[in-house]
Amino acid sequence: GAVVSQHPSWVICKSGTSVKIECRSLDFQATTMFWYRQFPKQSLMLMATSNEGSKATYEQGVEKDKFLINHASLTLSTLTVTSAHPEDSSFYICSAWTPLNYGYTFGSGTRLTVV
């Protein structure tokens, strides 16, 4: 079945540094990927939609200069949290549209802790 690999699974960084999270579709081409943020005991909130070869579409209230999304190939989308602050600490999940089963496949998520 379709697999979306997300890396790293967890990361700790210092305030002011940048962190890159990768999301790869392993056995299919993902023209569209989605990035979500999930706070503890809360639901998933869509941050942005990335389309291969074009600029990402950000949801209202999401700072595009802080959360840089790149979707340079059909199998890789990256989310870079720039100048991270403790309030950016959260669980980030990517997902991709999977044409094979007409559904969405999620990555395993990345727990980001900014200290």
The binding site for another protein (CB under 8 A) comprises 34, 38, 42-44, 46, 49, 91, 93, 95, 103-104, 106, 108-109, 111
Smallest gap from Cβ 66 to another protein, in A, equals 20
SS3 content of the chain, % helix, strand, coil (to 5): 5, 55, 45
Smallest gap from Cβ 111 to another protein, in A, equals 8
The gap from C-alpha 18 to its chain's centroid, in whole angstroms, comes to: 14
| Closer residue to another protein in complex, CB, 13/109 | 109
Smallest gap from Cβ 86 to another protein, in A, equals 20
Smallest gap from Cβ 45 to another protein, in A, equals 8
Q: Under 8 Å CB-to-CB from 84, ≥6 apart: which residues?
A: 13, 15, 16, 17, 18, 19, 112, 114
Provide the sign of the torsion angle of the four alpha carbons 30, 32, 35, 36, taken in this order.
Answer: negative
| Closer residue to another protein in complex, CB, 16/27 | 27
